[in-house]
Structure formats: structure tokens, C-alpha cells
Amino acid sequence: MELVEPGILRAGTGEGFVGETVVEQRRLRGVSGVQSIKVVSGMPATRFGHVVAHEMGHGWLTRCPGDRSLTTEEGICELIGSWWLRHRGGRLAAYYLEQMWQNPDPVYGDGYRSVCRKLGSLSPGEVVRRVETTGRL
């Protein structure tokens, strides 16, 4: 993982973009792997932890079977970030959780709400097993 200054991450990824996972596809075996994870420096610890958990989710998903839409992948990664925020606790974590739920973005917000509706009753361990086994929600 690399800490970067604001403005270093890919352009065109949306306002407030604070993390990026670069996935490398290997054509010979069809295997994906994480080439790099970049996170903007200077965030509060609670936000930083959420972003790292989200980006690590992308890394984990490269090892799971199946193809997922961008909305589903971001929804799963936001769910993983929400687990970290709930574990962290506190007013700032609660604020970020509410912001995630209210997010109007069609990829991040809609994806998170959709994944929560489908998987919200499952424990994190059950979600991990399901996605690792089936590649689906």
C-alpha cells in the first residue's frame, strides 16, 4: 500500500476519490492479482481505515470466482468498509455509515444498498464464504 497526495490518483473517478486498487490481469493463466493499492494521505484515522478496508476488498475479490458488475463489486467493497466502521465504532464511524447509506452515486451508493439488501442478514464470515465459494451474492 502506498500513501499518496490528493490529486495523484486516476482522473475521472469521481469527487472525493480517496483510494485506488490497480489489478493486474495475467493472460496466460487468467489469474488476477493486485498490482498496487494507493490511499490518499491526511484523512482522519476512521476514514483511512474505511478506505483501506474497501480497497483490500478489491484485492480479495480478484481471488474470488465469477464476474461481477462494477456496481456489485463496489457494493461488496463498501460492505467490507462498513464492517470496519462498525468495528471501529464512535460518532465519526456512525457519520460515515450514514453517508454511505445516503450516497446518491449509482455505483457506490446503489451498489452498497443493493448488497446490504441481499446480504445484510448474513454475518461477515457467511458473506465471505458465499462470495469465495460461488463468486455471487
Q: What is the pLDDT along the chain (137 residues), one digit of tens a residue?
A: 888 887 777 654 444 667 776 666 554 456 667 777 888 888 899 999 999 999 899 989 988 998 899 999 999 999 999 999 999 999 999 999 999 999 999 999 999 999 999 998 999 999 999 999 998 88
Distance, CA of 107 to CA of 68 (rounded, Å): 12
Name the helix (H) or strand (E) containing 125: helix 124-134
| Phi, psi angle pair for 53, to nearest 5° | -60, -45
Q: With pLDDT > 90 as the criterion, what percentage of the chain qualifies?
A: 59
Task: Supply the pLDDT for residue 12.
Answer: 46
Nearest Cα neighbor of 37 from 63, 14, 16, 9 is: 9
